Structure 1
Amino acid sequence: MPDYSLSGKPAFLRVFTLTALFSLSLISHGAHAEQNLPRVQVVQPEVRELTEWKEFTGRFEAVEMVELRARVTGYLDKVHFQDGQMVEKGDLLFEIDPRPYEAAVARAEAELARMDSQLKLADLDTKRGERLLTQSAISQEEVDTRRARFQEANANVASAAAAVKTAKLDLQYAKITAPVSGRISNRRVDVGNLVGSGDAGQALTTIVSLDPLHFVFDVSETEYLELIRLPQGQDQLANGRAMPTELKLIDEQDWTRTGRIDFVDNRLDENTGTLRMRVVVDNADGVLRPGLFARLRLPTSQNAEAMLVPDKAIVTDQAAKVVMTVDEEGKVIPKPVELGTLQGNMRVIRHGLEISDRIIVEGLLRARPGTEVNAVPYQADEQANNDGQDS
């Protein structure tokens, strides 16, 4: 029977066999130890050129909004519009019963005619008195009296003429027209009701312009300083040049709407510490309405190199933002970072990382600072499949 024991082999074969067995034991032990380490997936930062944006929330406002009130008192006689329709500047909207004001015009014109006849009489008396004065047939005092009566009659004519203008204005105000173009609201007063004039009277309706619209938003002191220190921020915000912007509604995914900043307030609000800004936005499609909320973004850098990491790799440690990295020895090293804008599912990192750092993306719950981990390359597709299975 063949002898397979080591004792029957030459010495060099016994040494070789023992060495191989020892090496296999070390490899097995190392693999077993690595298998017991927490497994994390890591990725290196991505560097690419991009345009960074700052996003804000605001509300649309009408460029022009008019609350229609009657300028004269009277009974509402006619309404010439449908609730909610578009109107043009100068369109007739309401009519107040004009008969009292037509009578007032006739009365004022009659008074003007009476004053005019008195003026002519006073003029004749004055001229006659001046001729008699040259013949010493009348005293100077009488001539002065006639001249004063002429001046009084002249003033009465001017006063009557002004009264005619006032009466005609009141008659004109009995027809209420649209002062601006836009969309009108519903009528607040029905035909037959008595409407008052001025602020004491009830508002009849409102009109708002729709194209273009204003988009109003507030920025903090820090955000304002960031914008004003851009390469062209001083010219665009401080010196009156329009800064381009992009907008989207709450149900829109893409930034398809554009506008331009045309107004920056002259002071920060003392209570909120914010600065009011305004954007002019075209509304050719008529979708936008005053009062709608929307998101706006401003470019803070253009075609600049930026370092990006997956946003889910960011960890919050009290007030600081931290990224977990793995060093050459396989130990977890936390690094505080300064965050930039969000680009899709990637976050811009302004400071705190090197391009050679290995960022933990998956397995953050198993990664403790200072502990050793088993770092493997991040597989986005694999993680997506795992998430689908878990769900």
Structure 2
Amino acid sequence: MMFAFPTREDAMPAPHRRLAALLTLLGVAGLIVLVILTRPEKRLEMTPPPPARVETLVVTRHDFRPTERVGGRLLPWRTARLAFETGGRVMERRVEPGQHMSKGDLLVRIDAREAEAALAEAEAQLALERARIERDRKRLALAREEAKLQTREVERLASLGDEALVSATRRESARSRLLQLRAEVASLEAEVASAQARIARRRAAVDRARLALERTFLRMPFDGVVDAVHVEVGDRARVGEVGVVVADDARLEVRLPVRSAVAAGLSRGQPVRLWLEGQARQGEVVAVQAVPDPRSWTREVVVRLSPGVGVLGEWVEVDLPLPVLQAVLAVPVTALLRDEAGAWVFRVEGDRLVRARVETGERVGDWQVLRAGVAAGDVVVARDVAALADGQRVEVTR
């Protein structure tokens, strides 16, 4: 028969055994922490980053013919607002907006009965005046012939002398008749002499009446299109009221608000290039406003297209020439880095970058003119400069 003897742990109370286990665990944990904290550190060896690969170019001088592009909508090269020159009832309307008409075509007619009557009266007066003049000419011829005969009679009576059986009363009567005939001839000659002036006066009256009649019509002043009609049949037209608006769409033009500095270099008749639906076209400067607009301080420049080019309302862009730039330093716009402080380029010196501040001038297409900060012969990074930094090591690819 065997007996089991109790161990020391068995002899310990249960709370004491739990405390001993806890202390043992804490000791082991502390030993692990001590080993971690006291172990030698590994030294990290920093390897330098590889040099950035960049494309470069040599700063050189260039000649540029810069332009400024300005856009606008195409308009007819001329328009007319046809107003009534006499009042009256609208009797006829022959057109609608968008209708193409020829020069002289009737558009609107107002009541012309009074004007027609006035014209008929003026023409009758002219015919009557012509008849009077013809009558006066015939009377003048008869009077002259009668005066000649009377002159001979007076001369005959005078040649008989006092011894003839001719009384003094008869001779005096013959002389009086001659004077009367001569006065009549003079009066008729004056009437005939003024015939041309009288006819001209009557013709002028006819022309005024005909003009008054013509004013009862609104006619097309040129070949073109009707833009708007503001009256209907039965309306009462007033003097000065616009009845029809028409436009000549055979040639189109664009009116551009342009900076005074640009407008100052333009002249009438100067050819310019314009862009219509992506295609290059030729235009001509036909007007340059002399005094700038006081609100915008721009000057209106009118550019006219060739006949048949463009559509009314179409957008067109015009390249207006600027002063020629000669022998200026320039770099591609991709070589510039811009921030709040200004514009910069990266010069390549050896295998390092130098961030250089520059003063910019005009931009001409993809090129940027530089006024200061670089010199001819400098090597600069050509593009992709946003991620570069001053002093960065680089490798030039070309």
Contact 1:325 1:334 in 2 (8 A): yes
Contact 2:81 2:245 in 1 (8 A): yes
Deviations 1:163-183 (A, max 9, x none): 223323333343322112222
Query: Matches of 1:374 and 1:57 in 2, distance apart?
Result: 44
Contact 1:72 1:196 in 2 (8 A): yes
1:243 maps to which residue?
271
The reply on whether 1:132 has 2:146 as its aligned counterpart is: yes
1:12 maps to which residue?
none
Q: 1:72 aligns to what SS in structure 2?
A: coil
Q: 1:373 aligns to what SS in structure 2?
A: coil
Q: Pick from 80, 99, 106 the counterpart of residue 66 of structure 1.
A: 80
Amino acid at match of 2:317: R
The reply on whether 1:261 has 2:284 as its aligned counterpart is: yes
2:172 maps to which residue?
none
Q: 2:355 aligns to what SS in structure 1?
A: strand
Q: What are the equivalent positions in structure 2 for 1:208-357 lying under 5 Å apart? A: 208-220=247-259, 222-223=261-262, 242-248=270-276, 254=278, 256-263=279-286, 265=288, 267=290, 269=292, 276-282=300-306, 284=308, 287-289=311-313, 294-298=316-320, 308-311=331-334, 313-315=336-338, 321-325=343-347, 327-328=349-350, 330-341=352-363, 343=365, 346-350=366-370, 353=374, 354=377, 356-357=379-380
Amino acid at match of 1:81: V
TM-score (norm 2): 0.64
1:170 maps to which residue?
212
Q: How many residues of Structure 1 are paired with residues of Structure 2 in the alignment?
A: 319
RMSD: 4.1
Q: 1:186 aligns to what SS in structure 2?
A: strand
CA 1:187–1:42 in structure 2 vs 1: closer, same or farther (change >3 Å)? same
Contact 2:337 2:385 in 1 (8 A): no
The reply on whether 1:147 has 2:189 as its aligned counterpart is: yes
Q: Pick from 111, 125, 135 the counterpart of residue 111 of structure 1.
A: 125
The reply on whether 1:55 has 2:68 as its aligned counterpart is: yes
1:195 maps to which residue?
237
Amino acid at match of 1:107: E
Q: 2:126 aligns to what SS in structure 1?
A: helix
CA 1:283–1:143 in structure 2 vs 1: closer, same or farther (change >3 Å)? closer
Flag the structure with larger Rg.
2
Deviation of 1:207 after TM superposition, in Å, equals 1.3
Q: Pick from 204, 211, 223 the counterpart of residue 181 of structure 1.
A: 223
Deviates more, 1:326-335 or 1:205-214: 326-335
Query: Matches of 1:339 and 1:41 in 2, distance apart?
Result: 29
Query: Matches of 2:305 and 2:337 in 1, distance apart?
Result: 36
Contact 2:260 2:292 in 1 (8 A): no
CA 1:377–1:91 in structure 2 vs 1: closer, same or farther (change >3 Å)? farther
CA 1:187–1:71 in structure 2 vs 1: closer, same or farther (change >3 Å)? same
Contact 1:90 1:178 in 2 (8 A): yes
Deviation of 1:96 after TM superposition, in Å, equals 1.9
CA 1:118–1:83 in structure 2 vs 1: closer, same or farther (change >3 Å)? same
2:95 maps to which residue?
81
Contact 2:139 2:188 in 1 (8 A): yes
1:204 maps to which residue?
243
